[in-house]
Amino acid sequence: MRSRAFRVFSALLLAACGGLAGAADFTGPDSCKGCHPEAYDAWMKSKHARATETLADGQKKDARCLSCHAPDQAEQTLAAVTCETCHGGGQYYSPSYVMKDPELARLVGLVDPSEKQCRTCHDASSPSLRPFDFKEALKAIDHWSAERARKQQTRADAAPSTPAPATAKK
């Protein structure tokens, strides 16, 4: 209990000193890869990872296009829609001790993306020819199912086997 209180206090202190979620520095997708390899692989195969490749040369210099195809380009070296585009800058939530505590991670800037957030780019004014269906789009960018399955399997493998109860002799 004491260590949890200390972590929360530390997070609040960081927030007061540095202004957190919105101003957190980006760590880049490679920093996510170590702990979330399945999510990283799914992202690498996604259209988000190659968002700027779909733009013509002129569009790559157009702020209107880059606002969705490379929204965080000023804060990071990679011009694409990255983990932190959707989940927020990871400077404060990326340490493993923070990520092990979902409440603390959210407190210091981890964002759970919502339909509203997705629709900032995937909206009626988007030049996309297809209408945006949030539920279907979510399936297309699923980067959590494989990771969740691996973690559950790891926990099951690590669980001590319980010996069968002894039967009573009469």
Place of tokens 């990071």: 76
Check residue 109 and give left, alpha or beta (phi > 0: left; psi -120 to 50: alpha).
left
The token duo for 52 is: 């700027």
Q: List CB contacts of 37: < 8 A, sequence separation 6 or more.
A: 147
Task: Of 10, 63, 50, 76, give the one whose Cα is nearest residue 141.
Answer: 50
**119 contacts 132 by C-beta, under 8 angstroms:** yes
CA 95 to chain centre: 13
Tally of helices (H runs) and strands (E runs) in the chain: 10, 0
Burial of 52 (0-12, 13-18, 19+ CB in 10 A): middle
- Give the rounded distance of the alpha carbon of 62 from its chain centre: 26
Neighbours of 104 (CB within 10 A): 20
| 3 state DSSP class of 26 | coil
Q: Per the structure block, which two tokens stand in for 8?
A: 């929360």
pLDDT for 89 equals 92
Query: Taking the complete model, does pTM exceed 0.75, yes or no?
Result: no
pLDDT in tens, the chain (170 residues): 555 555 555 554 454 444 444 446 889 899 999 999 999 999 999 999 999 999 999 999 898 899 899 988 777 667 889 999 999 999 999 999 999 999 999 999 999 999 999 999 998 888 776 788 999 988 888 888 877 787 778 778 887 765 555 555 55
